[in-house]
Structure 1
Amino acid sequence: MSEAQLKRPRKERKENAERRRRQLLDAARRSILTHGLAKTTLATVADEAGLSQGVAVFYFKSKAGLLTETLRDLYSGYEALWTSALEGAGDDPVDQLRALLDADFEPAACGPDVLPLWFAFWGELHFTQTYDEVADSFDTRRSEALSAVWRSVLRDASEEEAAQMAEWMDTLTDGYWQRLHLAPGSFDRRDARRAAQECIARLVPQLGRIAE
Protein backbone atom coordinates (compact mmCIF):
# COMPACT_ATOMS: atom_id res chain seq x y z
CA MET A 1 0.00 0.00 0.00
CA SER A 2 1.40 3.39 -0.95
CA GLU A 3 2.19 6.18 1.54
CA ALA A 4 -0.67 8.25 0.09
CA GLN A 5 -3.10 5.40 0.68
CA LEU A 6 -1.90 4.98 4.26
CA LYS A 7 -2.55 8.65 4.94
CA ARG A 8 -6.19 8.36 3.90
CA PRO A 9 -8.71 8.20 6.75
CA ARG A 10 -9.48 4.62 7.75
CA LYS A 11 -13.18 5.05 6.93
CA GLU A 12 -12.33 6.22 3.40
CA ARG A 13 -9.96 3.30 2.85
CA LYS A 14 -12.64 0.88 4.05
CA GLU A 15 -15.30 2.43 1.79
CA ASN A 16 -12.96 2.27 -1.19
CA ALA A 17 -12.15 -1.37 -0.47
CA GLU A 18 -15.84 -2.26 -0.17
CA ARG A 19 -16.58 -0.41 -3.41
CA ARG A 20 -13.80 -2.27 -5.25
CA ARG A 21 -14.92 -5.60 -3.82
CA ARG A 22 -18.50 -4.91 -4.93
CA GLN A 23 -17.22 -3.99 -8.38
CA LEU A 24 -15.41 -7.31 -8.67
CA LEU A 25 -18.36 -9.39 -7.39
CA ASP A 26 -20.68 -7.73 -9.90
CA ALA A 27 -18.12 -8.35 -12.62
CA ALA A 28 -17.90 -12.02 -11.58
CA ARG A 29 -21.64 -12.37 -12.09
CA ARG A 30 -21.40 -10.86 -15.57
CA SER A 31 -18.47 -13.11 -16.43
CA ILE A 32 -20.40 -16.22 -15.37
CA LEU A 33 -23.36 -15.14 -17.51
CA THR A 34 -21.05 -14.54 -20.48
CA HIS A 35 -18.46 -17.30 -20.16
CA GLY A 36 -20.01 -19.84 -17.82
CA LEU A 37 -18.69 -20.88 -14.42
CA ALA A 38 -15.85 -23.08 -15.66
CA LYS A 39 -14.42 -20.47 -18.01
CA THR A 40 -14.70 -17.58 -15.58
CA THR A 41 -11.24 -16.64 -14.30
CA LEU A 42 -9.62 -13.81 -12.41
CA ALA A 43 -8.65 -12.42 -15.82
CA THR A 44 -12.20 -12.46 -17.24
CA VAL A 45 -13.54 -10.87 -14.06
CA ALA A 46 -10.86 -8.19 -14.01
CA ASP A 47 -11.62 -7.46 -17.66
CA GLU A 48 -15.35 -7.16 -16.93
CA ALA A 49 -14.59 -4.82 -14.04
CA GLY A 50 -12.11 -2.74 -16.03
CA LEU A 51 -9.40 -3.45 -13.47
CA SER A 52 -6.06 -5.19 -13.47
CA GLN A 53 -5.87 -8.87 -12.64
CA GLY A 54 -3.61 -7.92 -9.74
CA VAL A 55 -6.48 -6.05 -8.08
CA ALA A 56 -8.67 -9.16 -8.30
CA VAL A 57 -5.86 -11.26 -6.81
CA PHE A 58 -5.40 -8.72 -3.99
CA TYR A 59 -9.04 -8.96 -2.92
CA PHE A 60 -9.84 -12.62 -3.55
CA LYS A 61 -6.47 -14.41 -3.83
CA SER A 62 -7.68 -17.04 -6.31
CA LYS A 63 -10.46 -17.97 -8.72
CA ALA A 64 -11.83 -20.37 -6.12
CA GLY A 65 -11.96 -17.62 -3.52
CA LEU A 66 -13.65 -15.21 -5.88
CA LEU A 67 -16.30 -17.69 -7.00
CA THR A 68 -17.03 -18.80 -3.44
CA GLU A 69 -17.58 -15.19 -2.40
CA THR A 70 -19.75 -14.63 -5.47
CA LEU A 71 -21.98 -17.49 -4.37
CA ARG A 72 -22.04 -16.15 -0.81
CA ASP A 73 -23.01 -12.73 -2.17
CA LEU A 74 -25.80 -14.30 -4.25
CA TYR A 75 -27.21 -16.06 -1.19
CA SER A 76 -26.80 -12.93 0.95
CA GLY A 77 -28.88 -10.92 -1.48
CA TYR A 78 -31.59 -13.57 -1.53
CA GLU A 79 -31.60 -13.84 2.25
CA ALA A 80 -31.91 -10.07 2.60
CA LEU A 81 -34.85 -10.16 0.19
CA TRP A 82 -36.90 -12.84 1.95
CA THR A 83 -36.07 -11.71 5.50
CA SER A 84 -37.16 -8.17 4.63
CA ALA A 85 -40.39 -9.55 3.16
CA LEU A 86 -41.01 -11.63 6.28
CA GLU A 87 -40.37 -8.71 8.63
CA GLY A 88 -42.70 -6.47 6.63
CA ALA A 89 -45.59 -8.95 6.56
CA GLY A 90 -46.83 -8.38 10.09
CA ASP A 91 -47.82 -11.06 12.60
CA ASP A 92 -50.32 -13.06 10.53
CA PRO A 93 -48.55 -16.26 9.43
CA VAL A 94 -50.65 -16.52 6.26
CA ASP A 95 -49.51 -13.03 5.28
CA GLN A 96 -45.97 -14.11 6.07
CA LEU A 97 -46.22 -17.13 3.77
CA ARG A 98 -47.64 -14.99 1.00
CA ALA A 99 -44.84 -12.46 1.47
CA LEU A 100 -42.24 -15.23 1.25
CA LEU A 101 -43.79 -16.58 -1.95
CA ASP A 102 -43.92 -13.08 -3.42
CA ALA A 103 -40.25 -12.55 -2.57
CA ASP A 104 -39.29 -15.83 -4.22
CA PHE A 105 -40.57 -14.55 -7.55
CA GLU A 106 -39.06 -11.07 -7.42
CA PRO A 107 -36.53 -10.31 -10.20
CA ALA A 108 -33.77 -10.11 -7.58
CA ALA A 109 -34.48 -13.75 -6.68
CA CYS A 110 -35.17 -15.35 -10.04
CA GLY A 111 -34.78 -12.78 -12.80
CA PRO A 112 -33.11 -13.73 -16.10
CA ASP A 113 -29.75 -12.40 -14.92
CA VAL A 114 -29.96 -14.32 -11.63
CA LEU A 115 -31.35 -17.78 -12.41
CA PRO A 116 -28.39 -18.81 -14.59
CA LEU A 117 -26.10 -18.01 -11.64
CA TRP A 118 -28.07 -20.19 -9.24
CA PHE A 119 -28.09 -23.16 -11.59
CA ALA A 120 -24.43 -22.75 -12.51
CA PHE A 121 -23.42 -22.96 -8.85
CA TRP A 122 -25.97 -25.59 -7.85
CA GLY A 123 -24.56 -27.89 -10.51
CA GLU A 124 -21.22 -27.79 -8.70
CA LEU A 125 -22.35 -28.00 -5.06
CA HIS A 126 -21.43 -31.62 -4.50
CA PHE A 127 -18.11 -31.26 -6.33
CA THR A 128 -16.90 -28.13 -4.55
CA GLN A 129 -16.91 -28.32 -0.77
CA THR A 130 -16.77 -24.57 -0.20
CA TYR A 131 -19.86 -24.04 -2.38
CA ASP A 132 -21.69 -26.77 -0.48
CA GLU A 133 -20.77 -25.21 2.87
CA VAL A 134 -22.00 -21.77 1.81
CA ALA A 135 -25.28 -23.18 0.50
CA ASP A 136 -25.84 -25.31 3.60
CA SER A 137 -25.37 -22.35 5.94
CA PHE A 138 -27.93 -20.17 4.17
CA ASP A 139 -30.34 -23.04 3.48
CA THR A 140 -30.38 -23.96 7.16
CA ARG A 141 -31.42 -20.47 8.20
CA ARG A 142 -34.09 -20.39 5.49
CA SER A 143 -35.46 -23.78 6.56
CA GLU A 144 -35.61 -22.76 10.22
CA ALA A 145 -37.43 -19.51 9.44
CA LEU A 146 -39.90 -21.17 7.09
CA SER A 147 -40.56 -24.01 9.52
CA ALA A 148 -41.32 -21.48 12.25
CA VAL A 149 -43.93 -19.82 10.04
CA TRP A 150 -45.52 -23.15 9.24
CA ARG A 151 -45.65 -24.05 12.94
CA SER A 152 -47.67 -20.86 13.45
CA VAL A 153 -49.99 -21.75 10.58
CA LEU A 154 -50.49 -25.40 11.54
CA ARG A 155 -51.06 -24.97 15.25
CA ASP A 156 -51.47 -28.69 15.97
CA ALA A 157 -48.61 -29.80 13.75
CA SER A 158 -45.41 -31.32 15.07
CA GLU A 159 -42.03 -29.78 14.34
CA GLU A 160 -41.43 -32.55 11.82
CA GLU A 161 -44.69 -31.79 9.98
CA ALA A 162 -43.93 -28.07 9.89
CA ALA A 163 -40.42 -28.81 8.58
CA GLN A 164 -41.93 -31.04 5.89
CA MET A 165 -44.27 -28.26 4.75
CA ALA A 166 -41.32 -25.87 4.65
CA GLU A 167 -39.38 -28.35 2.50
CA TRP A 168 -42.34 -28.87 0.16
CA MET A 169 -42.78 -25.12 -0.25
CA ASP A 170 -39.14 -24.53 -1.12
CA THR A 171 -39.11 -27.54 -3.45
CA LEU A 172 -42.17 -26.12 -5.19
CA THR A 173 -40.57 -22.73 -5.78
CA ASP A 174 -37.29 -24.38 -6.82
CA GLY A 175 -39.24 -26.32 -9.43
CA TYR A 176 -40.78 -23.17 -10.84
CA TRP A 177 -37.36 -21.51 -10.87
CA GLN A 178 -36.10 -24.43 -12.95
CA ARG A 179 -38.98 -24.05 -15.39
CA LEU A 180 -38.35 -20.31 -15.66
CA HIS A 181 -34.68 -21.05 -16.30
CA LEU A 182 -35.17 -23.77 -18.90
CA ALA A 183 -38.22 -22.41 -20.71
CA PRO A 184 -38.37 -18.65 -20.07
CA GLY A 185 -40.42 -18.02 -23.20
CA SER A 186 -43.32 -20.21 -22.11
CA PHE A 187 -43.71 -19.08 -18.51
CA ASP A 188 -43.17 -15.90 -16.52
CA ARG A 189 -42.61 -15.06 -12.87
CA ARG A 190 -46.17 -13.86 -12.28
CA ASP A 191 -47.60 -17.14 -13.60
CA ALA A 192 -45.17 -19.09 -11.45
CA ARG A 193 -46.02 -17.12 -8.32
CA ARG A 194 -49.75 -17.55 -8.87
CA ALA A 195 -49.37 -21.30 -9.48
CA ALA A 196 -47.28 -21.70 -6.33
CA GLN A 197 -49.87 -19.81 -4.27
CA GLU A 198 -52.70 -21.97 -5.60
CA CYS A 199 -50.75 -25.17 -4.94
CA ILE A 200 -50.09 -24.19 -1.32
CA ALA A 201 -53.77 -23.26 -0.90
CA ARG A 202 -54.84 -26.70 -2.15
CA LEU A 203 -52.38 -28.48 0.12
CA VAL A 204 -53.70 -26.59 3.13
CA PRO A 205 -57.33 -25.54 2.46
CA GLN A 206 -57.44 -23.11 5.39
CA LEU A 207 -54.86 -21.05 3.49
CA GLY A 208 -57.26 -20.34 0.64
CA ARG A 209 -56.76 -16.61 0.97
CA ILE A 210 -53.03 -16.97 0.28
CA ALA A 211 -53.98 -17.00 -3.41
CA GLU A 212 -56.28 -13.98 -3.23
Structure 2
Amino acid sequence: MARKVVAKGRARFHRETPEDRRRQLGEAALRCIVKHGNAGVSVRQIAAEAGVTQGLITHHFGEINELVAYAFDIMSEGLLQSLLKAVADAEPTPQKRLDAFINVSFSPMLFDRGVLGVWVVFWGLVLHSPRMSASQQGEYSNYVAAIEGLLGDLAAAEGFGIADIRLCAIAFTALLDGLWLAWCLNPASFKPEEGMQLCRNWVEGLRRGAYA
Protein backbone atom coordinates (compact mmCIF):
# COMPACT_ATOMS: atom_id res chain seq x y z
CA MET A 1 0.00 0.00 0.00
CA ALA A 2 1.14 3.52 -0.73
CA ARG A 3 2.21 5.69 2.20
CA LYS A 4 0.88 9.24 2.35
CA VAL A 5 2.08 12.09 4.59
CA VAL A 6 -0.60 14.56 5.66
CA ALA A 7 -0.13 18.23 6.51
CA LYS A 8 0.10 17.72 10.28
CA GLY A 9 3.01 15.35 9.87
CA ARG A 10 1.04 12.25 10.75
CA ALA A 11 1.41 9.33 8.36
CA ARG A 12 -1.53 7.31 7.25
CA PHE A 13 -1.96 4.50 4.81
CA HIS A 14 -3.87 4.93 1.59
CA ARG A 15 -5.79 1.74 0.91
CA GLU A 16 -5.80 0.70 -2.73
CA THR A 17 -9.17 0.62 -4.41
CA PRO A 18 -10.33 -2.49 -6.28
CA GLU A 19 -9.74 -0.62 -9.55
CA ASP A 20 -6.17 0.22 -8.47
CA ARG A 21 -5.53 -3.46 -7.85
CA ARG A 22 -7.18 -4.49 -11.13
CA ARG A 23 -4.97 -2.02 -12.96
CA GLN A 24 -1.84 -3.44 -11.33
CA LEU A 25 -2.85 -6.97 -12.27
CA GLY A 26 -3.62 -5.90 -15.84
CA GLU A 27 -0.21 -4.27 -16.18
CA ALA A 28 1.44 -7.38 -14.74
CA ALA A 29 -0.40 -9.48 -17.33
CA LEU A 30 0.92 -7.23 -20.10
CA ARG A 31 4.48 -7.60 -18.83
CA CYS A 32 4.11 -11.38 -18.76
CA ILE A 33 2.81 -11.48 -22.33
CA VAL A 34 5.66 -9.24 -23.51
CA LYS A 35 8.20 -11.52 -21.82
CA HIS A 36 6.71 -14.94 -22.52
CA GLY A 37 4.12 -14.65 -25.31
CA ASN A 38 1.33 -17.22 -25.04
CA ALA A 39 3.12 -18.87 -22.13
CA GLY A 40 2.58 -15.66 -20.19
CA VAL A 41 -1.20 -16.17 -20.27
CA SER A 42 -1.06 -18.01 -16.97
CA VAL A 43 -2.53 -17.18 -13.58
CA ARG A 44 0.62 -18.54 -11.94
CA GLN A 45 2.96 -16.42 -14.09
CA ILE A 46 0.93 -13.25 -13.68
CA ALA A 47 0.52 -13.70 -9.93
CA ALA A 48 4.29 -14.11 -9.59
CA GLU A 49 4.90 -11.03 -11.74
CA ALA A 50 2.48 -8.96 -9.64
CA GLY A 51 3.71 -10.39 -6.34
CA VAL A 52 0.24 -11.57 -5.28
CA THR A 53 -1.55 -14.84 -4.70
CA GLN A 54 -3.34 -16.61 -7.52
CA GLY A 55 -6.53 -16.30 -5.49
CA LEU A 56 -6.39 -12.50 -5.75
CA ILE A 57 -6.52 -12.75 -9.54
CA THR A 58 -9.52 -15.06 -9.33
CA HIS A 59 -11.17 -12.66 -6.89
CA HIS A 60 -10.82 -9.65 -9.21
CA PHE A 61 -11.29 -11.28 -12.61
CA GLY A 62 -12.85 -14.70 -12.18
CA GLU A 63 -10.92 -16.31 -15.01
CA ILE A 64 -7.79 -15.69 -17.04
CA ASN A 65 -9.45 -14.52 -20.27
CA GLU A 66 -11.15 -11.69 -18.39
CA LEU A 67 -7.77 -10.52 -17.09
CA VAL A 68 -6.12 -10.77 -20.50
CA ALA A 69 -8.96 -8.80 -22.11
CA TYR A 70 -8.56 -6.15 -19.42
CA ALA A 71 -4.82 -6.01 -20.19
CA PHE A 72 -5.72 -5.54 -23.86
CA ASP A 73 -8.00 -2.65 -22.86
CA ILE A 74 -5.12 -1.00 -20.99
CA MET A 75 -2.75 -1.31 -23.94
CA SER A 76 -5.17 -0.31 -26.70
CA GLU A 77 -6.55 2.66 -24.76
CA GLY A 78 -3.01 3.84 -24.03
CA LEU A 79 -2.04 3.65 -27.70
CA LEU A 80 -5.17 5.49 -28.83
CA GLN A 81 -4.64 8.22 -26.24
CA SER A 82 -1.06 8.68 -27.47
CA LEU A 83 -2.35 9.09 -31.03
CA LEU A 84 -5.03 11.55 -29.94
CA LYS A 85 -2.53 13.55 -27.88
CA ALA A 86 -0.31 13.95 -30.94
CA VAL A 87 -3.34 15.22 -32.85
CA ALA A 88 -4.31 17.62 -30.05
CA ASP A 89 -0.75 18.98 -29.85
CA ALA A 90 -0.57 19.67 -33.60
CA GLU A 91 -1.39 22.97 -35.26
CA PRO A 92 -5.20 23.31 -35.25
CA THR A 93 -5.83 22.72 -38.95
CA PRO A 94 -7.32 19.52 -40.41
CA GLN A 95 -4.23 18.91 -42.57
CA LYS A 96 -1.76 19.32 -39.69
CA ARG A 97 -3.86 17.18 -37.39
CA LEU A 98 -4.04 14.37 -39.94
CA ASP A 99 -0.30 14.69 -40.60
CA ALA A 100 0.35 14.36 -36.86
CA PHE A 101 -1.76 11.20 -36.72
CA ILE A 102 0.16 9.69 -39.63
CA ASN A 103 3.55 10.68 -38.20
CA VAL A 104 2.95 9.20 -34.76
CA SER A 105 1.52 6.05 -36.35
CA PHE A 106 4.99 5.39 -37.78
CA SER A 107 6.94 6.52 -34.72
CA PRO A 108 9.06 4.12 -32.62
CA MET A 109 6.28 4.08 -30.03
CA LEU A 110 4.07 2.12 -32.45
CA PHE A 111 6.56 0.77 -34.98
CA ASP A 112 8.04 -1.67 -32.49
CA ARG A 113 8.51 -5.33 -33.42
CA GLY A 114 8.28 -6.28 -29.76
CA VAL A 115 4.63 -5.25 -29.74
CA LEU A 116 3.77 -7.75 -32.49
CA GLY A 117 4.04 -10.73 -30.15
CA VAL A 118 1.58 -9.11 -27.75
CA TRP A 119 -0.94 -8.51 -30.52
CA VAL A 120 -0.56 -12.10 -31.76
CA VAL A 121 -1.54 -13.36 -28.30
CA PHE A 122 -4.56 -11.06 -28.20
CA TRP A 123 -5.66 -11.92 -31.74
CA GLY A 124 -5.47 -15.62 -30.92
CA LEU A 125 -7.97 -15.16 -28.11
CA VAL A 126 -10.51 -13.15 -30.12
CA LEU A 127 -12.01 -16.27 -31.73
CA HIS A 128 -12.40 -18.12 -28.43
CA SER A 129 -13.19 -15.48 -25.81
CA PRO A 130 -16.40 -13.40 -26.06
CA ARG A 131 -14.91 -10.90 -23.61
CA MET A 132 -11.77 -10.54 -25.73
CA SER A 133 -13.85 -10.24 -28.89
CA ALA A 134 -15.90 -7.44 -27.33
CA SER A 135 -12.74 -5.59 -26.29
CA GLN A 136 -11.27 -5.87 -29.77
CA GLN A 137 -14.47 -4.61 -31.37
CA GLY A 138 -14.55 -1.65 -29.00
CA GLU A 139 -10.91 -0.81 -29.68
CA TYR A 140 -11.41 -1.02 -33.43
CA SER A 141 -14.56 1.11 -33.35
CA ASN A 142 -12.83 3.84 -31.34
CA TYR A 143 -9.85 3.86 -33.69
CA VAL A 144 -12.00 4.03 -36.82
CA ALA A 145 -14.11 6.79 -35.25
CA ALA A 146 -10.98 8.86 -34.63
CA ILE A 147 -9.96 8.47 -38.27
CA GLU A 148 -13.49 9.30 -39.44
CA GLY A 149 -13.24 12.59 -37.57
CA LEU A 150 -9.87 13.48 -39.07
CA LEU A 151 -10.84 12.63 -42.65
CA GLY A 152 -14.25 14.27 -42.33
CA ASP A 153 -12.69 17.48 -41.02
CA LEU A 154 -10.20 17.50 -43.90
CA ALA A 155 -12.96 17.01 -46.49
CA ALA A 156 -15.06 19.79 -44.98
CA ALA A 157 -12.14 22.22 -44.83
CA GLU A 158 -10.96 21.56 -48.39
CA GLY A 159 -14.35 21.08 -50.01
CA PHE A 160 -14.08 17.58 -51.45
CA GLY A 161 -16.67 14.84 -51.11
CA ILE A 162 -16.61 11.46 -49.37
CA ALA A 163 -19.59 9.25 -50.17
CA ASP A 164 -19.26 6.95 -47.14
CA ILE A 165 -16.98 8.28 -44.42
CA ARG A 166 -17.16 5.02 -42.44
CA LEU A 167 -15.90 2.87 -45.32
CA CYS A 168 -13.30 5.50 -46.13
CA ALA A 169 -11.99 5.37 -42.54
CA ILE A 170 -11.98 1.56 -42.59
CA ALA A 171 -9.88 1.63 -45.78
CA PHE A 172 -7.35 4.00 -44.22
CA THR A 173 -7.25 1.88 -41.07
CA ALA A 174 -6.54 -1.20 -43.20
CA LEU A 175 -3.68 0.63 -44.92
CA LEU A 176 -2.12 1.64 -41.60
CA ASP A 177 -2.58 -1.82 -40.07
CA GLY A 178 -1.24 -3.57 -43.15
CA LEU A 179 1.87 -1.42 -43.28
CA TRP A 180 2.49 -1.92 -39.57
CA LEU A 181 2.20 -5.69 -39.86
CA ALA A 182 4.37 -5.86 -43.00
CA TRP A 183 7.09 -3.82 -41.29
CA CYS A 184 6.95 -5.88 -38.08
CA LEU A 185 7.37 -9.09 -40.08
CA ASN A 186 10.18 -7.66 -42.20
CA PRO A 187 11.59 -4.22 -41.27
CA ALA A 188 13.77 -4.30 -44.37
CA SER A 189 10.70 -4.14 -46.62
CA PHE A 190 10.31 -0.37 -46.23
CA LYS A 191 11.30 2.51 -43.98
CA PRO A 192 8.76 4.19 -41.67
CA GLU A 193 9.24 7.40 -43.67
CA GLU A 194 8.18 5.54 -46.80
CA GLY A 195 5.10 4.28 -44.98
CA MET A 196 4.20 7.85 -44.11
CA GLN A 197 4.52 8.83 -47.76
CA LEU A 198 2.26 5.97 -48.84
CA CYS A 199 -0.38 7.25 -46.43
CA ARG A 200 -0.04 10.80 -47.74
CA ASN A 201 -0.41 9.46 -51.29
CA TRP A 202 -3.62 7.74 -50.19
CA VAL A 203 -4.91 11.02 -48.76
CA GLU A 204 -4.08 12.75 -52.04
CA GLY A 205 -6.18 10.16 -53.86
CA LEU A 206 -8.98 10.93 -51.41
CA ARG A 207 -8.76 14.60 -52.35
CA ARG A 208 -9.03 13.68 -56.03
CA GLY A 209 -12.27 11.80 -55.57
CA ALA A 210 -11.26 8.22 -54.79
CA TYR A 211 -14.16 7.91 -52.32
CA ALA A 212 -16.52 10.54 -53.74
- Please report the TM-score for the alignment, with normalisation by the length of structure 2: 0.77
| 1:138 aligned partner | 139
Does 1:75 find its partner at 2:76?
Answer: yes
Is the 8 Å Cα contact of residues 162 and 168 (structure 2) preserved in structure 1?
no
Residue by residue over 1:89-122, the C-alpha shift from the partner in whole angstroms, topping out at 9 and shown as x without a partner, is 2321111111111222334434233222122212
Deviation at 1:127, TM superposition (A): 2.9
- Looking at structure 2, the residues matched to 146 and 26 of structure 1 have their Cα atoms a distance apart, in angstroms, of 27
Matched letter for residue 168 of structure 2: M
Is the 8 Å Cα contact of residues 200 and 207 (structure 1) preserved in structure 2?
no
Matched letter for residue 69 of structure 1: Y
- Looking at structure 1, the residues matched to 103 and 79 of structure 2 have their Cα atoms a distance apart, in angstroms, of 12
| 1:202 aligned partner | 201
Within-5 A mapping of 1:1-212: 12-14=14-16, 18=20, 20-37=21-38, 40-154=41-155, 155-160=159-164, 162-184=165-187, 186=188, 191-192=191-192, 194-205=193-204
Is the 8 Å Cα contact of residues 43 and 64 (structure 2) preserved in structure 1?
yes
Aligned-pair identity in percent equals 23
Name the Cα RMSD after superposition.
2.9
Residue by residue over 1:27-83, the C-alpha shift from the partner in whole angstroms, topping out at 9 and shown as x without a partner, is 212222333336621111111223222232233222121111011111111121112
* Corresponding residue SS for 1:37: helix
Deviation at 1:15, TM superposition (A): 5.7
With over 3 angstroms needed to count, the CA separation of the structure-2 counterparts of 1:138 and 1:99, relative to structure 1, is: same
Deviation at 1:187, TM superposition (A): 5.6
Is the 8 Å Cα contact of residues 47 and 53 (structure 2) preserved in structure 1?
yes
- Looking at structure 2, the residues matched to 40 and 82 of structure 1 have their Cα atoms a distance apart, in angstroms, of 27
- Looking at structure 2, the residues matched to 134 and 169 of structure 1 have their Cα atoms a distance apart, in angstroms, of 21
- Please report the TM-score for the alignment, with normalisation by the length of structure 1: 0.77
* Corresponding residue SS for 2:113: coil
Unaligned stretches of 5+ in structure 2? 1-10, 208-212
Residue by residue over 1:167-188, the C-alpha shift from the partner in whole angstroms, topping out at 9 and shown as x without a partner, is 222212211221233224x368
Matched letter for residue 181 of structure 2: Q
Unaligned stretches of 5+ in structure 1? 1-7
Residue by residue over 1:110-139, the C-alpha shift from the partner in whole angstroms, topping out at 9 and shown as x without a partner, is 423322212221233233221121121122
- Looking at structure 2, the residues matched to 40 and 85 of structure 1 have their Cα atoms a distance apart, in angstroms, of 32
Is the 8 Å Cα contact of residues 89 and 96 (structure 1) preserved in structure 2?
yes
With over 3 angstroms needed to count, the CA separation of the structure-2 counterparts of 1:15 and 1:113, relative to structure 1, is: farther
* Corresponding residue SS for 2:29: helix
